[in-house]
Amino acid sequence: MIFVKQYIKYSVRIIFWALFIAVLGFILIRGIVLDGKIEYIYDFSKPNFYISELKPEDRVESVECTVRAGFQRECSQRITGDPVYFSVKPSRRFEKAVVSVKFRMPESQTVKQPNVIELGILKDNLLKRYELKPLDNRILDSISSEWKTLRQGDTILLQREMAYPDINSFLDNLPDPREIAAYNFVLKPRYLLAGYGPGNGNHAIPYHLRGAFQIYTYIKDENLDFNFEFSDLNRDTVHEKIDITVYYLDEPIFSRRIDGDINDTDNGAVSDLGKTEIKIPGLPEGAYKLEIRTNDDIMTRKLATKQNKFVFSDKLWFSGSAENPRPGGAGKIYTDSKIIHFNTTNPASLQTISVNGSELRISQTYKQYSFENHSALAEVAFSSPDFILAGNGMFAFNTEEFFDPRVGKVDDFFDPAETNINYIIADYAYPQSDAGWKYSSVEFDLSSAYSEEGRYGFIISIPGLRADDDKQDYLEISSIKINLQGKSIWQFLGSKIKR
């Protein structure tokens, strides 16, 4: 009897330790990923340890589930506003991610379907810049059935009239950049502005600028000449720095770093960081980009240039009278952006903004308001500065300074009938379809992506989809599958031994 009790006792211990070792081994193998490949799937049926939920909550509906034959539970979530975000935290470092999304749009003929759906990974946290790749582009789908189409792998060339026999001929002998639109394709045509003459005076921005921004300017027979004055607002404990980079044909040709002050407290004592002059002689004629990369604790108190043409791209936070008094508060800004977003964190800047005479009431802080612009150049009039202006185009404080040197983009507002575009070059794979659902996969290089404590940020972009309108449009997501690839444990150990 004693022997039997001891036998049972030791057997239970052996089973316990065997299970413990098995579970521990599974966790270790799952975390280490011996072969360097692993797959995570978020099907919305329950929280996923590696893939977060979609945020923010006011742009998504509650998860809905149905039970199919065989008691199979299928869940999905509808996105009602653009954009939404999720993050991925792998068990270890990987080099590549292939993200596959299963989605569908409203079947009703009376509800507008999103024209463009993109997935992106965060590349630059300061500039909030995402590398966007296409999941679906219904505009390209439509144009490809009407225009002459050439395909080489995933690269397609659409021509209004056949002028190039193949894609290489097009790339080797590009037409006028104003005739080209690109989508998910890096094209670097040289932009030349007819009738441009060099600047002969100073042009200054009448407001302070908060945080990061990008400027496009044009040079011909003159120096590139910009002057900045920066301040550190000291509203956080981060030691700030300012990186200024000049690009020509998307290649960096000049860079400078400016350190913030030695005050690492958040006491709000504003520090003057002095003057910075960027003067580069002997540049060839063309468009140039200046990127000012910093965080929102840095304010550009002064920006002056001798260039006749200079515009801001995509996003601009201009401030002024609320924090640092400036003569006058009301003003105007001009943009070719087809969708204009407004946002303010300052209650004093709640106001009614006019866009080409149409009024848009900004009544809440920390809320995004949007306006669809159907004109070539919209006039935005405001009564008080200190708000964030964003869109898919250029912004200028003067119509004479305005120009847009970038190649056209096939986005939600692209209409070939209303443009002079005759050629579209794109890197685009058509999504697969099955039983009303679409499936699309895109690949990202994780080595150049931004991560914080091993977590990568992703965005799902659906331009034109707004949660605050009365439309019943949405994008429904059924699953997000992520295949990660990196070094196997043997490759990792081998690289360490070689060192």
| Residue-wise pLDDT tens digits, 180-195 | 999 999 888 888 888 8
Reported as a pLDDT band with limits 50, 70 and 90, residue 348 is: confident
Residue % of the chain over a pLDDT of 70? 87
Q: What does the alpha-carbon distance between residue 309 and residue 394 come to, in Å, rounded to a whole number?
A: 12
Show me where the domains of the chain are located.
2-32, 39-138+425-489
Res. 53: pLDDT tops 50: yes
Q: What does the alpha-carbon distance between residue 465 and residue 206 come to, in Å, rounded to a whole number?
A: 33
For tokens 């908060």, the residue is: 210
Provide the 10 A C-beta neighbour count for residue 331: 17
Q: What does the alpha-carbon distance between residue 105 and residue 476 come to, in Å, rounded to a whole number?
A: 6
Strands 286-293 and 241-248, bridge-based pairing: antiparallel
Res. 73: pLDDT tops 80: yes
Q: What is the pLDDT of residue 326?
A: 46
What mean pLDDT comes out for the span 330-344?
Answer: 90
Q: Which amino acid is at 100?
A: S
Flag the least confident range among 6-10, 138-142, 310-314. Answer: 6-10
Q: Which two tokens stand for residue 8?
A: 């049972």
What mean pLDDT comes out for the span 165-185?
Answer: 91
Q: What is the pLDDT of residue 16?
A: 56
Q: What is the pLDDT of residue 111?
A: 67
Q: What does the alpha-carbon distance between residue 377 and residue 368 come to, in Å, rounded to a whole number?
A: 22
Res. 22: pLDDT tops 60: no
Is the Cα torsion angle 300, 333, 244, 237 positive or negative in sign?
Answer: positive
More confident residue, 228 or 24: 228
Q: What is the mean pLDDT of the chain?
A: 85
φ and ψ at residue 279, rounded to 5 degrees: -130, 120
Q: Which two tokens stand for residue 412?
A: 């939600």
3-state DSSP helix/strand/coil percent for the chain, to nearest 5? Answer: 15, 45, 40
What mean pLDDT comes out for the span 457-486?
Answer: 88
Q: Which two tokens stand for residue 146?
A: 């009407």
Q: What is the pLDDT of residue 321?
A: 40
Is the Cα torsion angle 130, 131, 135, 139 positive or negative in sign?
Answer: positive
3 state DSSP class of 482: strand
Q: What does the alpha-carbon distance between residue 378 and residue 374 come to, in Å, rounded to a whole number?
A: 8
CA 173 vs CA 92, 164, 190, 291, 428: distances in Å: 45, 9, 12, 29, 22
More confident residue, 377 or 69: 377
Q: What does the alpha-carbon distance between residue 167 and residue 161 come to, in Å, rounded to a whole number?
A: 14
What mean pLDDT comes out for the span 112-128?
Answer: 88
**Which residues, 6+ apart, have CB-to-CB distance to 282 below 8 Å?**
none
Flag the least confident range among 26-30, 65-69, 111-115, 261-265. Answer: 26-30
Q: What does the alpha-carbon distance between residue 493 and residue 499 come to, in Å, rounded to a whole number?
A: 10
Dihedral of CA atoms 260, 263, 264, 270 in degrees, nearest 10, equals: -80
Domain 39-138+425-489 falls in which CATH fold?
Answer: Jelly Rolls (2.60.120)
Q: What does the alpha-carbon distance between residue 129 and residue 58 come to, in Å, rounded to a whole number?
A: 22
Question: C-alpha angle 263/269/271, rounded to 5°?
Answer: 65
Res. 400: pLDDT tops 80: yes
Q: What is the pLDDT of residue 370?
A: 87
Res. 435: pLDDT tops 70: yes
Let me know how many helices (H) and strands (E) the chain has, helices first. Answer: 4, 34
Q: Which amino acid is at 144?
A: S
Q: What is the pLDDT of residue 156?
A: 94
Is the Cα torsion angle 24, 26, 31, 35 positive or negative in sign?
Answer: positive
